[in-house]
Amino acid sequence: MPSTSTHGVRLSSDRQTFLPARAFAAAGWVRTVRVAIYTRVSTEDQAKEGFSLDAQRERLQAYCLARDWAVAATYIDDGHSGRNTKRPAYQRMMAERDRWDALLVIKMDRIHRNARNFMEMMDDLREWEKDFVSATESLDTSTAMGRFVMDIIQRIAQLESEQIGERVYMGMSQKAKVGPGMLGFHAPLGYEVSEGQLVPQAQEANLVREIFTLCLDGWTLEETAADLNARGRRTRRGAEWNPVKLYRILHNPVYAGFLRWDGIVRKAEHPAIVPVETFNEAQERLRNRALLPNANGPPILLEA
């Protein structure tokens, strides 16, 4: 007798073809499982584990061929973290769930690195009567033991992810304290990146100096924004200026030749656009005209 599951009737153990219990069992119809292949990789994953998108896709396609499964769609998230669900291909796959019967991944951590997100997904799949398959871990969601094992494995994956995050944080913190080099951020207005270092960009650097000069001349952020906009001066992205954008520039120690990361400020190797004295005076002016809630705290004063 064929064995049954919540999702249907398994016709044979070596050929993963199902007879959906409610719709097809009575009529004796047989249909091949339609599979959604999901692949994901981040730069860190690829460097550490070699799970390239092409390698994942090829192995999963071969897995489907061996099981006589039909690939209904392939969803690829390139460069997205597995710690949240804000991934375009993942969101599209869930929205298109009527196209597939089973979700196939190479490993569980390709779909989620967060236990809560994973369990919420599994609850959704059960409600939608969909299966989940991890090709290299041989996990079957149709059994209680399979669900239990998947939960344990996912929690181990989350632990590993959090430990990696802690190690990365420790490394970044040490680099922030002693250097050298940048800390992985995009070059701010006034700078560009050359050979891994910040170098001034002449036209933008002049605009930054002008913003600091207006601040020291007693201009408010609102007056400065209005003046720049009236003269057609724009941000790097072509947007108009506003007080918040100006405050962030005036409050950024990078322009005085320092780097700031998670509360750590250190002297950096890149050239300053404004002197330390100018930056410090701007901080006092900003504090006196407190625009934002965090402007009420102690000003960032740098040592030359």
Catalytic residues: 42
Instruction: Kindly tell me the burial class for residue 218, based on how many C-beta atoms sit within 10 Å of its own C-beta (0-12, 13-18, 19 or more).
Output: exposed
d(CA 220, CA 205): 20
Instruction: Kindly tell me the burial class for residue 152, based on how many C-beta atoms sit within 10 Å of its own C-beta (0-12, 13-18, 19 or more).
Output: exposed
Q: Both tokens of residue 229?
A: 């906009």
Strands (E), the chain: 9-10, 17-19, 31-32, 34-41, 70-78, 102-105, 131-134, 139-140, 191-194, 197-200, 258-261, 264-267
Sheet bearing 70-78, strands edge to edge = 70-78, 34-41, 102-105, 131-134, 139-140
Cα angle, residue 106 at apex, residues 105 and 112 outer, rounded to 5°: 60
Cα angle, residue 146 at apex, residues 152 and 36 outer, rounded to 5°: 100
